[in-house]
Amino acid sequence: MNLKDQLLASKIYLVLAALFITSLVVSNLIFQRFFYWNPFGWFPFEISAGLLPYPITFLITDIISEIYGKKKANQIVITGIFASFFSVLIVLVGNYTTATSWSPVNNDVYTQVFGFSTIAVLASMLAYLFAQFIDIRVFHFWKRKTNGNHLWLRNNFSTFTSQFIDTFTVVSLLCLFEVLSWDVFSSVLLSGFLFKIIVAALDTPVLYIAVYFFRKRFLLGKGEELKGIL
């Protein structure tokens, strides 16, 4: 691959990294808002607003795993965790300030929105980190087993496995640290996992389109990965 293609591949990687980090940080900031979603008319999902950008992170790691390789996928996950920790630290520092009398957001509102349990949030981030590494490992396991064929299989199998582990762990921690009540454990767990499964299935065509673009633009063979990317 020539220098021009290397620079282009690096720029695309940075864009994907920015989307990944933004989605991850935002999901941690808005997770306390829950809402109903009933697209089928027979099962009202009870899901956190934090799940809206969340599936994007797994789609991006699958794209990076397929095109840039396992090492680059792991790097972006670690970077995202550092960004999340830093964002939580800033929010916590803001919580110790005193609002002015004319501030649109007073102390009580700020604490109610952002005053989540620090331990619960940090634990959920670690659970997410664990789930992402599982996703990447399972993805590459099936990539080796299928010799680069059946992209849909490794995309969905890796996501289904990691998403269940992540959803179960996070909901358990939120209940344990009394962010949520144990009364809603089952409904939130089922809703969250099913939502992620549906989105994972729907984003499979997006993954195929992205992989097709990369392979055509960078002349990659089936299962081949970009090398020499900074």
Cα dihedral across residues 138, 81, 59, 75: positive or negative: negative
Q: What is the pLDDT of residues 12-22, one digit of tens each?
A: 999 999 999 99
Q: What is the pLDDT of residues 112-161, one digit of tens each?
A: 777 665 666 676 777 777 787 888 888 888 888 888 778 788 877 787 78
For residue 18, the model assigns a pLDDT of 94
Structure tokens at 150: 């059946």
Contact status, residue 229 vs residue 72, Cβ threshold 8 Å:
yes
| pLDDT at residue 75 greater than cutoff 70 | yes
How many angstroms separate the CA atoms of 3 and 215, rounded? 17
Other residues' Cβ atoms within 10 Å of the Cβ of residue 44: 14
Domain boundaries, the chain: 3-34+55-217
Residue 50 gets which letter from DSSP? G
Go through 144-177 and write b for each residue having 16 or more CB atoms within 10 A of its CB, e for each that does not. Answer: eeeeeeebeebbbbbbbbbbbbbbbbbbbbbbeb
Contacts of residue 6, defined as CB under 8 A and 6 or more positions apart, other chains included, come to 228, 229, 230
Q: What is the pLDDT of residues 167-176, one digit of tens each?
A: 888 788 778 8
Q: What is the mean pLDDT of the chain?
A: 83
pTM (2 d.p.) = 0.83
Q: What is the pLDDT of residues 54-70, one digit of tens each?
A: 778 888 988 998 899 88
Cα-Cα-Cα-Cα torsion 28, 183, 95, 17, nearest 10 degrees, comes to 0
Cα dihedral across residues 180, 182, 184, 188: positive or negative: positive
Q: What is the pLDDT of residues 193-217, one digit of tens each?
A: 888 888 878 888 998 899 999 999 8
CATH 3.10.260 fits 3-34+55-217, yes or no: no
How many angstroms separate the CA atoms of 113 and 111, rounded? 6
